[in-house]
Structure 1
Amino acid sequence: MIRIIKSLLVLFIGLHALFYVLQNIANLSTAHESLVYVLSGTDHAVYRETFFFKLSDPMIGWVALTMVLIGEFAVAFFGIKGGWDLFKARTAPAEEFHAAKRAGVIAAALALLVWFGFFMTFGAAFFQMWQTQLGTGSMEGAYMYAMASAITMLFVCLTDD
């Protein structure tokens, strides 16, 4: 039963990312506008100044959005593949099941890079997106997904099964 739960949790990492990437593609211009808004520091009332820089060039927004979409797609791919690999190996010997964790661990690690790295480190800390309602919503969602992915990665790797 634990092996099936692990495979489902990894699959959910992939599905979560797939849903995000598809929703972002369906709302591409809004996703772009949101990123440009966050990167530009518009409406920052608390910390108006920055030690770093602000970016309002729409082309930079497209580059950032492309990086996010590629990251989300990679998480989706490895998460769905990892869930399937674990499910296929659910009755295999421990060594084989442990080897099947590879894609799932990659998915969780990539999820941390996307949602912790991109959104929380650069978006929240560097660009101070927490100062706006739009930015706060993105940051809170990123936090929840990053933490769920980290906990899933720990749970999947916890034992050799």
Structure 2
Amino acid sequence: MNSLTTAKTIRISKILLMAYISFFGLLVMYSNFTDYATNYEYVGHVLSMDTAYNSEKTNYRAITSPILHHRIYWLIITLEVTYTVYCLMGTYHLYRKLNASAKEFHEAKKFSIIGLMIGLFIYYVCLQVIGVEWFNMDKSQAWNAKDWARHIVDFTLPLLMYVALRIER
């Protein structure tokens, strides 16, 4: 009988955590596709900087073209779909290699790592860096996702480090 060891528990925890972040990605995708208008409105307000306190020194940064709003929103959706697909593939590959050698299990992490890096790009670079620092998203009372994005980064970055570490035997 195959007993549950600490090493196997670590492998299972990596698979489950990847499943959790994949589930989050699926919910985000569902929201984007079923409530496009609300999410588009959010993107439009952030890019237009119309609800953020701005000085004349920063107004030049605003993107007010609805066509560009749609294109940027579709870029974000595409990145979120890509991130979710890679995380799902990563979860599947880790699960397939649950009982494999340490080397094989470690090599199965590549899709998970790619997915998590794309997720960090979306929620850290796009929302926290560009959204907050360039478009002053944090200055808006109504259209500010800085804290929401930070919570995702606070989960994703440690998960990336944990999954990437070669600690299982």
Same fold (TM over 0.5): yes
Whether 1:37 and 2:37 are equivalent positions in the alignment is no
- How far apart are residue 34 of structure 1 and its match? 1.2
* Count of aligned residue pairs for this structure pair: 159
Normalised TM-score (structure 2): 0.88
Secondary structure of the residue that 2:61 maps to in structure 1? coil
Q: Please identify the structure whose Cα radius of gyration is greater.
A: 2
- How far apart are residue 52 of structure 1 and its match? 5.0
Distance 1:52 1:99, change over 3 A: farther
Whether 1:53 and 2:61 are equivalent positions in the alignment is yes
Distance 2:13 2:23 in 1: 15
Asked if the contact 1:12–1:79 (Cα under 8 Å) also holds between the matched residues in 2, the reply is no
Secondary structure of the residue that 2:51 maps to in structure 1? coil
Asked if the contact 2:51–2:141 (Cα under 8 Å) also holds between the matched residues in 1, the reply is no
Distance 1:83 1:9 in 2: 9
- How far apart are residue 51 of structure 1 and its match? 7.2
Secondary structure of the residue that 1:48 maps to in structure 2? coil
Q: CA RMSD in A?
A: 1.4
Matches within 5 A, 1:19-38: 19-38=27-46
Number of the residue aligned with 1:87: 95
Number of the residue aligned with 2:106: 98
Distance 1:153 1:40 in 2: 33
Distance 1:91 1:64 in 2: 42
- How far apart are residue 160 of structure 1 and its match? 4.8
Distance 1:116 1:20 in 2: 16
Normalised TM-score (structure 1): 0.93
Secondary structure of the residue that 2:52 maps to in structure 1? coil
Q: Which segments of structure 1 move beyond 6 Å, counting only runs of 4 or more?
A: none
